[in-house]
Amino acid sequence: MCPPEHFAVEYAINPWMDTSAPVDAELALKQWQLLRETLVRLGHTVHTLPAQAGLPDMVYAANGAFSVDGVVYGARFRYPQRFAEAAAHRAFYCAGNWRFVEPTEVNEGEGDFAYLPGAYGGLILAGYGFRTAPAAHSEVQEALGRPTISLFLVDPRFYHLDVALAALDDGNIVYYPGAFSDASQRILRQLFPSAVLADEADALAFGLNVVSDGRNVVLNSEASALAAKLRAAGYVPVPVELSELKKGGGSVKCCIAELRP
């Protein structure tokens, strides 16, 4: 995770960003700290990436890379405002002796990649349509040695896979069908017949931008309807308030890069 010490909405590169809406920097930091404390309380270890001035979106740490079994596929951001974030993430992984694969294709890390180790022997779900280039899907497959399923995002409000779909455990997902093309919806139904289906209201509340440890699902507190669906499916929803960070187009998952050594 990366603290929102320099977080602000200084430009608009997704439909959620409104440069006329001020950010309460103190509240943003308090909400981020509560998210971090929630993860620690649930038994997880949190590593912190230092924030850098001039990179207001760096708080969305999920976008900086994608790791599986000790191998890291780095990010190559779509927009120049975020280019420099990739080097900060690379330095973090290289200092930790991860095997780092430098990308040649545009991709935004876990923003557009999800991993399910128990599905079909280990499966990567990969989004494209707004940020990550389709060619990055074959590149990540070669880099990480896992089959990759391409999913076409068609609604600009759900510009990254991680605001439209999330892994709930090693073999199942939750997603909003309307974010995907008809063909991608058919693929998801075939691969995950027991998936939890979200509706548009769930998705607009950033309910799909979650992190799950297989039991506890940390999600935006606004997504109360989705929390009920997850509870009915046997999971334990853990709501957190992230109203300020939502102004930049992200919520729980966007703030967390999951490390898979």
3-state secondary structure of 140: helix
C-alpha 151/C-alpha 181 separation (Å) is 8
254 is a catalytic site residue: yes
Catalytic residue among 2, 89, 137, 254: 254
Q: Which of 89, 137, 160, 255 is catalytic?
A: 160
Provide the token pair at 75: 């990010």
Q: How far apart are CA 220 and CA 237, in angstroms?
A: 10
From CA 24, how far away is CA 245, in angstroms rounded? Answer: 10
End-to-end C-alpha distance for the chain, whole angstroms: 16
Q: How far apart are CA 5 and CA 26, in angstroms?
A: 9
- Residue 214 CA to residue 172 CA, distance in Å, equals 9
At 14 the three-state DSSP class reads coil
Fill in the DSSP letter of residue 251.
-
CB distance 4 to 245 below 8 Å: yes
> Catalytic residue at 255?
no
- 8: closest CA among 20, 175, 149? 20
Catalytic residue numbers read 160, 254
